[in-house]
Structure 1
Amino acid sequence: MYADPRRRPVTFSAGDRVYLKVSPWKGVIRIGKCGKLAQRFIGLFSINEILNDQTVVLDLLPELAGIHNTFNMCYLRKCKVDDVTQLVPLKDLKVDLNKKLVEEPIRIVDQKVTRLRKKRIPMVLIEWKHNLGYNLTWET
């Protein structure tokens, strides 16, 4: 009655790359920060085997050796990047002293002037280096 009528079932196949949801593990394992800023998904992991329509076996890293490798599909999110080379390499990222990501601009794509009643605000569209998906932002 309250379910989304346009919901599509998520299907996985062996070899797909997925992210693993870690928020229910708050009492068991803490990955990274705790509280509001904790990671919700970690990964990318590949699916080794599909046991039934709701259970899969993942190929986990050696750091997660204490965790069983069988998961329900509700804890997985499909990776939307088809090509692995499009993923951001972690060694190229720069972090400042406050542990914030330092993003580097590549080029200015476009310029425009936004008009208000008595003001004109110049805006610039910038392409950023390591921001996949939404790499264009308007800056004033």
Structure 2
Amino acid sequence: MKGVQQFGRWGKLAPRYVGPFRIIKRIGVVSYRLELPASMSSVHDIFHILMLKKHLRDEEQQRVIDASEIEIQDDLTTVEIPICILAKESKNLRNKVIPLVKVQWSRHGA
């Protein structure tokens, strides 16, 4: 279609969802107006509810870290120290046994 912006590739490798956007207004029973960035100005800003996916915030990722407690190396990496092992499990795949270990790292919650 002429003048319609597509979201990346076609087919199997096409992106299923394009970023979290804020809902500005509910229009009708099953449609919503979204706040899209200026780079997507050619995309119509009203979407059917079936095209939207619920965005759940992860509280652990939103945790504010004090910048003074982070030690950054010269190559812009940080050193994570394991605190304790939370769980151990082993998976059996045909003739292999794969050990799985859940570790609690420094500066991260449980």
Specify the alignment match of 1:36 in structure 2.
Answer: 12
* TM-score for the superposition, normalised by structure 1: 0.43
Deviation at 1:78, TM superposition (A): 1.1
Q: Is the partner of 2:21 in helix, strand or coil?
A: strand
Specify the alignment match of 2:76 in structure 1.
Answer: none
Specify the alignment match of 1:85 in structure 2.
Answer: 62
Flag as ranges the 4+ runs of structure 1 deviating above 6 A: none
- Answer 1 or 2: which has greater strand percent: 1
Provide closer, same or farther for how the CA distance between residues 112 and 52 of structure 1 changes in structure 2, counting only shifts above 3 A. closer
Deviation at 1:47, TM superposition (A): 0.5
What is the count of residue pairs matched by the alignment? 82
Match of 2:97 among 96, 104, 121: 121
Contiguous gaps of at least 5 residues in structure 1:
1-24, 87-104, 128-140
The yes-or-no answer on 1:70 pairing with 2:46 is: yes
- 8 Å CA contact 1:58–1:69 kept in 2: the answer is yes
CA distance in 1, matches of 2:40, 2:25: 18
Contiguous gaps of at least 5 residues in structure 2:
64-79, 104-110
Specify the alignment match of 2:77 in structure 1.
Answer: none
Report which of the two structures shows the higher radius of gyration computed on alpha carbons: 2
CA distance in 2, matches of 1:45, 1:52: 19
Specify the alignment match of 1:50 in structure 2.
Answer: 26
* TM-score for the superposition, normalised by structure 2: 0.53
Per-residue CA deviation, residues 7-32 of structure 1 (Å, 9 max, x unaligned), is xxxxxxxxxxxxxxxxxx9xx43323
Deviation at 1:111, TM superposition (A): 3.9
- 8 Å CA contact 2:7–2:14 kept in 1: the answer is yes
Q: What percentage of aligned pairs have identical amino acids?
A: 23
Per-residue CA deviation, residues 68-118 of structure 1 (Å, 9 max, x unaligned), is 2111111111112265827xxxxxxxxxxxxxxxxxx985844455689xx
